[in-house]
Chains A and B, each alone.
Chain A
């Protein structure tokens, strides 16, 4: 059945991907629904907040909407039209057996008028509600906690502020709400009130979206190899998953800012179960025992790209000096020795991440991570990392500055990690070691992507207007 899905007008590129992921959690016949059918309402633009989506049942629609972050509401549409006359005709012709159960005496209801892109005065809202006398409501109005919520949603010329092209014609929808996101999560988890914060802690909204892409649910084990302050795992734990994390920086992962301000305390703060494991390890040389594979249901991370949290890996000195003799740590210094680390290029970091995920994810498990891109590049799609074990199923771009974006990639493990793949990865690993300097060049692009772009703040949006490719505000917010 077709439902109207109204999104919050933000993070446009994440919206459908989130619904499609959640469909995998809540729909029984997963293959059949591996990609959903979508339809744009008449006169609407692909970036409009209104989309029709075909879902098998109301329960599925409700579960998806309630778990989502970006779905303002999913509605069973009783009618739509270009004017209130057309709307009435449309509602009247909607089958009674679909309408009457929600209009019965003894039930409570509420009608809300919502508009996208313009403000409707209180008086006008009331007039519109009074116009629905042709719907035989038999229940009681209850504004606080109604059984049934009805919505009148209008779009008109939504002006310029939201970055969408002008509307060709007015559209009005009338529908019954089936479910919607619980955005009250966001103030609860906002970073501002987070106990232990780092410079690259992941914004709560994005962290929840990542956890949704990863299908975090109770009974699953989710791993973040670049755990930092744990902000991504906090979101996964909120949805009931068991979590595990590693970081190369011992101060970040173990010490924090004291006994009550560290990765553990970020979970405690929200009453979430602690990670089942935290460790200090280098994802370039992960300490997993050989033979261990297919243990994680999902791997979610924001890899160390760039200067703010530039990637480091073990064995810096030896590599950087390019000496033939291995650098030896004097015996008397061994216990307190702080191993030096070398710079970790983006290509190598991504190679290691894919290799880890290919081995350690269960079949069907998901790898969800950020990848930086240069916006000038017209074919970014062609530059996303690939791996024989993975299928890329979603890409969600978020523009960071006039030149750079980051893209949230969601990959599914579709083939097992074979001996051949492991051997190819081992050879590549050695190639990285031996040709360290060659690979480092790539690091620069990515440091730029993940550090603030002073130009943008200086020139404001004026530059963006001249872009040959239209980019909408939603990708900025």
Chain B
């Protein structure tokens, strides 16, 4: 699971009000090179919840992202795009879990795939 996916997901358990971001439990992180596409990064940037993204990156071992990005002119910086690309697409949570911030319910991540299916009493 890349951080792009993490940034999109929440705990959708019935009745929960604090659903995002999911806390990351790390067992195994892999780095895999991915194709760099600046257009894609620029399209994605405004959709990202930045604070959650920076925290998630730090949790899985990458601390080089700027804390604040109020200004989208940052998207013209190649250096920034490279870091963004790396954190968004090249770090994979291979084994671990995503944890609901309110209930502590664990959504396991195995073989890179988060299991977001709810139990019967959670829907």
- Taking Cβ atoms with an 8 Å cutoff, the residues of A that contact B are 218-221, 242, 244, 248, 250, 253-255, 273, 276-282, 285-292, 294-295, 297, 314-318, 326-329, 334, 337, 339-340
Contacts and interface: CB of A to CB of B under 8 A. Distances in A.
Interface string B70-104: 00000000000000000001000000000000000
B123 A287 contact: no
13 contacts: A219-B43, A250-B115, A273-B35, A277-B4, A280-B114, A287-B116, A288-B8, A290-B10, A297-B43, A328-B120, A339-B117, A339-B118, A340-B120
Contacts of B111: 254-255
B19 interface: yes
Nearest to A328: B121
Contact of B47 (A276, A285, A292): A292
A254 B47 contact: no
A250 B117 contact: yes
Given A273-B35, A326-B121, A278 B112 contact: yes
A327 B119 CA distance: 9
- 7 cross-chain pairs, A with B, having the tightest CB-CB distances, nearest first: A219-B39, A289-B10, A277-B5, A315-B123, A287-B116, A254-B113, A281-B116
A340 B43 CA distance: 38
B12 to A, nearest CB: 5
Given A250-B117, A280-B114, A282-B118, A288 B9 contact: yes
Given A218-B37, A286-B12, A315 B47 contact: no
Contact of A289 (B19, B39, B119): B19
B66 interface: no
B40 A242 contact: yes
Given A294-B47, A295-B47, A339-B117, A314 B123 contact: yes
A300 B112 CA distance: 23
Contacts of A285: 12, 118, 123
B34 interface: yes
Contacts of A339: 117-120
Nearest to B9: A287
Contacts of A248: 117
Contacts of B121: 318, 326-329
Given A219-B37, A276-B2, A327 B120 contact: yes
Contact of A329 (B9, B35, B47, B120): B120
A287 B5 contact: no
A317 B114 contact: no
A279 B6 CA distance: 11
A292 B44 CA distance: 11
B56 interface: no
Contacts of A286: 12
B78 to A, nearest CB: 17
B37 A282 contact: no
B68 to A, nearest CB: 19
Given A273-B35, A289-B19, A339-B118, A295 B8 contact: yes
Interface size class of B (residues with CB under 8 A): 35 or more
A315 B120 contact: yes
A370 to B, nearest CB: 24
Contacts of A282: 116-118
B24 interface: no
A318 B8 contact: no
Contacts of A327: 120-121
Given A273-B35, A278-B112, A314-B123, A290 B19 contact: yes
A337 B118 CA distance: 10
Contact of A287 (B1, B11, B37, B119): B11
Interface in B31-50: 34-35, 37, 39-40, 43-44, 47, 49
A280 B117 contact: yes
Contacts of A255: 111
Contacts of B89: 276
B7 to A, nearest CB: 8
Nearest to A313: B123
Contacts of B115: 250, 254, 279-280
A287 B12 contact: yes
Contacts of A253: 113
B5 A337 contact: no
B45 to A, nearest CB: 11
B21 to A, nearest CB: 8
A396 to B, nearest CB: 29
Given A253-B113, A254-B113, A329 B119 contact: yes
B34 to A, nearest CB: 7
A242 B38 CA distance: 12
Nearest to A242: B40
Contacts of B119: 329, 334, 337, 339
Contacts of A290: 10, 19-20
Contacts of A276: 2, 4-5, 34, 89
Contact of B114 (A242, A279, A291): A279
B113 A279 contact: yes
A326 B120 contact: yes
Interface in B8-29: 8-12, 19-21
Given A279-B1, A287-B9, A295-B47, 10 more contacts: A219-B40, A253-B113, A279-B9, A288-B9, A289-B20, A290-B10, A292-B47, A316-B120, A318-B121, A327-B120
